[in-house]
Structure formats: structure tokens, C-alpha cells
Amino acid sequence: MGASAIDISGKNTAAEYPSVEELKQRLIIPEVGFTPAPEVPQPNVFPIEWRVETPKLAEIYERAKREGFNPSAIPWDTLDPSAYTADERIAMMYWWALLSNFDSSGPAVFGRAMIHAFETHQEDPVRKCFFSITRDETNHEECCQRAIQRLVPNGPQGFAPKTELERAALNNIDWLYHNGGRYWTGFNNAVGKYPLAVLFTSFMLGEVASSTLFHGMARATRHPVFEQVFRSIGRDESRHLQICITLLEKEWPGLSDEYRAFVTKQLRAGFVFLSMVLWEPPPMFWQLPDYFLDNHRVLLDIARRAGLGILRVDEQAENWRIAIAKVRKLLERWRIEFPAIPELDIEGVDVGDISDADIIPVF
Ligand SMILES: [Fe+2]
Ligand SMILES: [Fe+2]
């Protein structure tokens, strides 16, 4: 093709490209009018449109693009496994496996929430924010993966335990993932059933708690790699929290009383579920053998001594209280009652026992 085929604007003007006027002659305009396309049965991701109702969410999405971090850019090779004893390595790996019981379900949980948002035709920034959370959670999962592989190759479950401590850790991880599996089943059933406001109130408790947790751990850890990881994840979680709050300010006013009561129960479920990594789990929902908690405490104490950055149990409880106070304040504005959390001496509505189907919260 010669230079003359393309004019200065970059358009194709050679003879094989007829003019627009010539092309328009070929249009077929039926005398009886166009046949309307059938309506797309819903829920469906089609028809596609890019409606913006909440510009603030669009802003947060832009920020997510700039702020996101790359887990491979963290200097993992400076995390020297030989600087720790085998006991310390397994104990620290155990904590990362514990975290991954929450953070590693994040990509699939938000991936599904994103598809749901497309199918129910949420405004464009909502869908994009869900996408950004999915992206971030995949990074958090990668951090769990990398930390675990560095400390115990083929962890969390594929290594051959040689000591009592290693056997205890592996068995506890098996039990954690058993419960993680129950959570996934419950979440799958909930995602299509409840309005976004309900789903996101559950998410919000997780985001408030996790942003506080990671900022605290970034300060407490003795290793620069862990500090960088915790700081990066903490920044993401703060952004997730802003997404939640912005979305809820939009959705809460339309919430029916029936759902208001349900949200109260969800907050209690969030406390029960997330306490496993944020503090200590109350004796409901969690199916665990009777020795689990003792072994869990031993492993976490060893990881604490090794400088991973796990807060003391009393600091964790205080962390929870602060997070809960923040959420409670937000909810008051929308006449949503807060559940009682007797474990932390927090008064509120008694919502009874928590079962598999109640657990939606995620980091
Ligand atoms: Fe996360
Ligand atoms: Fe998150």
C-alpha cells in the first residue's frame, strides 16, 4: 500500500474504501420499520451501559489504580528463613495460613460480587470498585502465598510435618480450611439473595477491622518485609472501607425494616467469623476439635516472639472495640441497631446464635 492510501489524518482514503456517502446508500431501512430486538432476560450482564450515579466511587476507583501495589516488587529474598528456627518458621507460616483463610477467599468472593453487580446493573463505578477490590485481594492472597512458601516450602498443607508442633499446625490449618469451606458455601447462597446494602454492611465490618489490624501489625513487626506487606495491605483495606461507606450511604436510605434487623445479625456474624484472625473466636459457628484453641495459642505465641507483628490478645481486643465503635457510629445515622457483643462487654440487641448461613463477612 502506497503512502497515498492514508491521508494526513490517518484515515483510509484509497479506492478500495468507498466514501461514507456511498456506503450509506447500502443501508436497508425497512418500510415497516426496524424490528425491535427482544429484551434481554434478566439478570444478565447485557445490555451494557456506563451510568455514573456516585462520582465519589469513580474517584476512589481512580485512586485504586494509582495506589495498588505489586507483591513481586517486595524484596522477599531479604526474608531469610535461616534467620528463624524451624519452630518459628512453622508458627509464622501458621499465622499466614490463618490469614489466608480470610484473605485468600477475597478474590473469589469479590469476583462473584462483581459479577452480581454486573448482572443487576449497578452503576459503572460500583462494578469497577468491586473489580479493584478483587484485584487488591488477589495481591493480598499472593502475599500469603509468598510468605508461606518462603517460610515453609509447600505450605500451608503440602509439606511433610516432622515434629509435634508441625503436626499440630497442619491439623489446625486443616480445620481452619474446613470452616473456610463452610463460609464459602454460605456466601454463595447469600450473594444473590440480599440487597447490596446488606452484603456490604457485612463487608464493612471486615474492612474496618482489617485496616486497623494491618496498620497495627505494620507497627509491631520486627521484619521490614512484613512491615512493607502490612502497610501495603492496610492501605488497600482503608480504601475498601471507603468504598463500603460510600456505597452504603447510597444504599442504606432505601433499606426496609426487615433488612435492618438482618443487618444487625450480620454484624454479630462478622464478629464471630473475623475474631478467629483478629482476636479469639467465640464458641459458635466454628467447628473445631477441643484442642484447637490451645494449639492455636501456642503457635501464635511462638510467631509473636519471632517478631511477626501479631498484637497481644488484649491489644487485639482493644482493636476490635475501636473498630466496632466506628461501625456503630456509622450505623446510628441509619437507625440500624447494633448487636450485643458480650465477649467485649458491648451492649446491644441479642440476635441469638450464628449459623453457617449467617456468615457473609470478608476482609
Ligand atoms: Fe484483603
Ligand atoms: Fe478488603
3-state secondary structure 231-288: HHHHHHHHHHHHHHHHHHHHHHHHCCHHHHHHHHHHHHHHHHHHHHHHCCCCCCCCCC
| 114: in domain | yes
Tell me, in angstroms, the distance from the centre of ligand 2 to residue 244's CA. Answer: 10
CA 104/CA 362 separation, integer angstroms: 10
Which CATH number goes with the domain that contains 171? 1.10.620.20
CA of 99, nearest ligand number: 1
Residue 87 alpha carbon to ligand 1 centre in Å: 27
pLDDT of residue 361: 59
Give the distance (Å) from ligand 2 centre to CA of residue 240.
5
User: How remote is the CA of residue 133 from the centroid of ligand 2, in Å?
Assistant: 7
Is 107 among the domain residues?
yes
Q: Which structural domain, as residue segments, surrounds residue 298?
A: 56-358
Q: Structure pTM?
A: 0.92
pLDDT in tens, the chain (363 residues): 445 566 678 888 888 899 999 999 999 999 999 999 999 999 999 999 999 999 999 999 999 999 999 999 999 999 999 999 999 999 999 999 999 999 888 999 999 999 999 999 999 999 999 999 999 999 999 999 999 999 999 999 999 999 999 999 999 999 999 999 998 988 888 888 888 778 877 788 888 888 888 999 999 999 999 999 999 999 999 999 999 989 888 888 888 888 888 888 888 988 999 999 999 999 889 999 999 999 999 999 999 999 999 999 999 999 889 888 888 888 888 888 899 999 999 898 888 877 766 666 555
In a domain, 50, yes or no: no
Q: Distance from the CA of 85 to the center of ligand 1, in angstroms?
A: 28
Q: How far is the CA of 103 from the centre of ligand 1 (A)?
A: 5
- Rounded CA gap, 119 and 43, in Å? 5
Is 337 contained in some domain? yes
C-alpha 214 to ligand 1 mean position (Å): 10
* Distance from residue 338's CA to the centre of ligand 2 (Å): 22
Cα–ligand 1 centroid distance for 102 (angstroms):
8
- Is the residue at 17 inside a domain? no
Q: How many CB atoms lie within 10 A of CB 314?
A: 9
**How far is ligand 2, taken at its centre, from the CA of residue 160, in Å?**
32
pLDDT score of 10: 85
Find the 137 Cα to ligand 2 centroid distance in Å. Answer: 6
Q: How many domains does the chain have?
A: 1
How many angstroms separate the alpha carbon of residue 13 from the centre of ligand 1?
53
363 CA distance to ligand 2 middle (Å): 4
Tell me the residues surrounding ligand 2 (ion) with CB < 5 Å: 237, 240, 363
Strand partners of residue 349: 339
pLDDT of the residue at 4? 55
Question: Shortest CA distance to 113 belongs to which of 233, 240, 211?
Answer: 240
pLDDT confidence of residue 362:
57
What's the gap in Å between 130 CA and the centre of ligand 1? 13
Ligand nearest to the CA of 229: 1
95 with 209: CB under 8 angstroms?
Answer: no
For ligand 1, the distance from its centroid to the CA atom of residue 317, given in whole angstroms, is 20
Instruction: Give the model's pLDDT for residue 176.
Output: 98
In-domain check, residue 111: yes
The answer to whether residue 13 sits within a structural domain is no
> Which ligand ends up closest to the CA of 110?
2
Residue whose entry in the numeric block shows the C-alpha cell 503457635: 299
- Considering every ligand atom shown, identify the ligand nearest to the alpha carbon of residue 237 and give its number: 2
Cβ atoms of 219 and 307 within 8 Å: the answer is no
* Nearest by Cα to 175 from 88, 286, 79, 93: 286
> What are the backbone dihedrals phi and psi of residue 173, each rounded to the nearest 5 degrees, phi first?
-65, -40
216-229 as b/e, with b when 16 or more CB fall inside 10 Å? bbbebbebebbbbb
pLDDT at 1: 47
11 assigned to some structural domain:
no
**The residue count for the chain:** 363
Give residue 109 CA to ligand 2 midpoint distance, Å: 11
157 alpha carbon to ligand 2 midpoint, in Å? 24
